[in-house]
Amino acid sequence: MRFDNPAKENPIDRLKVVGQPVDRIDGPDKTTGHARYAYEHHEEVPGAAYGYVIGAGIAKGRIVSMELDAARRAPGVLTIVTAQNAGKLGKGDFNTARLLGGPEIEHYHQAIALVVAETFEQARAAAQLVRVRYARERGRFDLARERGNAALATGEKKPESAVGDFDKAFAAAPVQLDATYTTPDQSHAMMEPHASIARWQGDRLTLWTSNQMVNWSRGDVARTLGIPRENVRLISPYVGGGFGAKLFVRADALLAALGARAAGRPVKVALQRPLIANNTTHRPATIQRIRIGAGSDGRITAIAHESWSGDLPGGSPETAVQQTRLLYAGANRYTALRLATLDLPEGNAMRAPGEAPGMMALEIAIDEIAEKLGLDPVEFRIRNDTQVDPEQHGRPFSQRRLVECLRLGAERFGWQARSARPRSQREGQWWIGTGVAAAFRNNLVMASAARVRLDGQGRVTVETDMTDIGTGSYTVIAQTAAEMLGVPLHQVAVRLGDSDFPVSAGSGGQWGANSATSGVYAACVRLREELGRRHGFDASTAVFDNGQIRAGGRTLALGEAAGEGGIVAEDGIVFGKLDKAYQQSTFGAHFVEVGVDVATAEVRVRRMLAVCAAGRILNPKSARSQVIGAMTMGVGAALMEELAVDKRLGFFVNHDLAGYEVPVHADIPHQEVIFLDETDPLSSPMKAKGVGELGICGVGAAVANAIYHATGVRVRDYPITLDKLLAGMPMVA
């Protein structure tokens, strides 16, 4: 099915099941332990051996020698895989060539060997016996130092943009801001580590793995191992968090496959927690310069946003300026992405890549220029709203309700009672402050397909390689099929995460729910049409409801219509050019209240509110969970999350959850989420978008703005830790 001419109404619009806050259908399996994650497929793969990954002990250089004899003689050891005996590895689309290092080493903890043994303990003990000698080379580990060597990120589709004459307009602006902000490297720190089990049957590989994008990764595994794509099967029914780190094949999957081939039996591999920070991908640090010029009327006349980030040779930048190209009006504009070469672990997608760190800077800058103008920060944002893409004049937004989000949020949060003057409210030992930030994330759509089975009892089974990374994919897919075929939710079974199933959008970029359910919608339309052909009715006018089909004055039981052998239909959604004719984005507003201890500068987040405009909300309960989780990550980014770089030796020092701090329950207050009642018929037949990443965009800046309002201290270098605040706070009794 091609989606490029949206109808005004379709069966989804009944909203009997879709749009309802139903419980997750996979909840019972998860809470009782029946949901099996990548490392837990014991029944399907009995007798698997265990692999233990050895990571490089240097950040840049080469292996001079690797002594393996003692490890090979250790109890239980079956084989040891290294670059020397792994055979020639091909290059996949997502840096799989870097997954097994040697003799050249590109970053710290790059995998250099896999020890395979009968038990995990034996593999771990044997790995300690491997002796590696390195020739260390001088590396580049400091983004600030390499900033001058950075160049435009030419690998990007649009590394630079310019509209009007920014320099002239900025110089002429009566009110100006020129400020630099920094965000640190951050780790995904998901609950389930990267883990895989590999089994070979002849020349065919089955890989149970924790992965967000089954189809992408199936292709990468095949290309890397040099085997036909059809000889690879990936299975990933449950993923215990990914946040972008599991968009791609990582060392656990490749080494499990190589280890299983070498050992002649199934092998399971889970990356140790320290290797998740240094071996896999992370959100890269940024340095961002923002310049804004405004007239005395409070309207932006010039805006520029430049970002510097770093990555390994051939890598990509953190796209931190994308939202600035779309969020606010202004006739004269300039943005640029610059990339430095660093010898740190690979920087890549992490929840809301680009917008999350970009808005941490932009939305502080917006508050700063508003203060210079003497304008309320909510009013300043509203005054500079635009209903068309400011860089492509005339291209409208399909939906843009940012102003409504800001106004409703301000009313609900009690913003009108706020004093404009910083450090003006104190409660005992606490300075109290409130902050706001806009939320923005583009709406992306991807082709997605599904297979739908209807049996003689009226039961429905949906199959697609879509993954559920804790976001509720199982449930919204079941809701879609139930709505389209007119059956209760309990009569729908959903099977996900298997490359034998039709190819879906996968989970990432907040495109998953909208795209995958649209694929299920298309398959259900096909099934309805097939039933119409069998029984002589017009499927486009038939009503599927309460387990029955009503058409042409007849009523058929759904199971009876399917027949004893049942019926199967398969189809998918392919999106046309609507996203080119219209700018499709999601919008929101974040409001935060903090308390800051007058003596210690301890920060306590006291209240949080998010207002989101993101198309039809398919399941308000799971959508709210997505948003409050994202808001929590935003608090972490603002106050504590930082991978500390050893700039001498080139590695992330705090590479475990003892040193890498994330928010806990005590750090997070009650969070309120409001979804505007919105449908976007230009986005998909579901009229939905996504909220999984919108919820993090802007939160960090809202926290930072609240801290400034509480203390009068402006910190532009994240995270906002006690030392940075104390340096600027006055001594107060």
SS (H, E, C) 59-107: CCEEEEEEECHHHHCCCCEEEEEECCCCCCCCCCCCCHHHCCCCCEECC
Predicted pLDDT of residue 7:
72
Give the per-residue pLDDT at 658: 94
Q: CA dist 97 to 10, 90, 224, 386, 719, Å?
A: 46, 7, 7, 44, 33
What single DSSP character describes residue 393? T
Of the candidates 713, 709, 728, 438, the residue with the CA atom closest to the CA atom of residue 595: 709
Give the separation between CA 17 and CA 481, rounded to whole angstroms: 9
Distance CA 551, CA 486 (A): 13
In sign, the C-alpha dihedral spanning 613, 618, 624, 627 is negative
Mean pLDDT by 10 residues, the chain (733 residues): 84 97 97 96 95 98 98 98 96 86 98 98 98 98 98 93 98 98 97 98 98 98 97 98 97 98 98 96 98 98 98 96 98 98 97 98 99 98 97 91 98 97 97 98 96 98 98 98 98 98 97 98 98 96 97 95 97 92 96 97 98 98 98 98 98 96 96 97 96 98 98 98 93 59
Percentage of the residues of the chain whose pLDDT score is greater than 90 = 96
Q: Residue 167: CB partners within 8 Å, gap ≥ 6?
A: none
pLDDT in tens, 162-205: 999 999 999 999 999 999 999 999 999 999 999 999 999 999 99
Give yes or no for a contact between 123 and 52, defined as CB atoms under 8 angstroms apart.
yes
pLDDT of residue 732: 59
Q: Assess whether 368 carries a catalytic annotation.
A: no
Per-residue tokens: 581: 């004719």
Domains along the sequence of the chain with CATH: 2-35+445-573 (3.30.365.10), 38-138+191-279 (3.30.365.10), 375-443+584-726 (3.30.365.10)
Reduce the DSSP state of residue 229 to 3 states and report it.
helix
The closest alpha carbon to 102, from 81, 126, 84, belongs to: 84
Let me know if 106 is exposed, middle or buried by CB neighbors in 10 A (0-12, 13-18, 19+).
buried
Residues in the chain: 733
**Active-site pick, 593, 641, 642, 693:** 693
Per-residue pLDDT reduced to its tens digit, 471-502:
999 999 999 999 999 999 999 999 999 999 99
Task: Compute the distance between CA of residue 705 and CA of residue 434 in angstroms, rounded to an integer.
Answer: 7
| 620-639 helix and 355-373 helix, angle to the nearest 10 degrees | 70
Contact criterion met (CB below 8 Å) for 380 and 373: yes
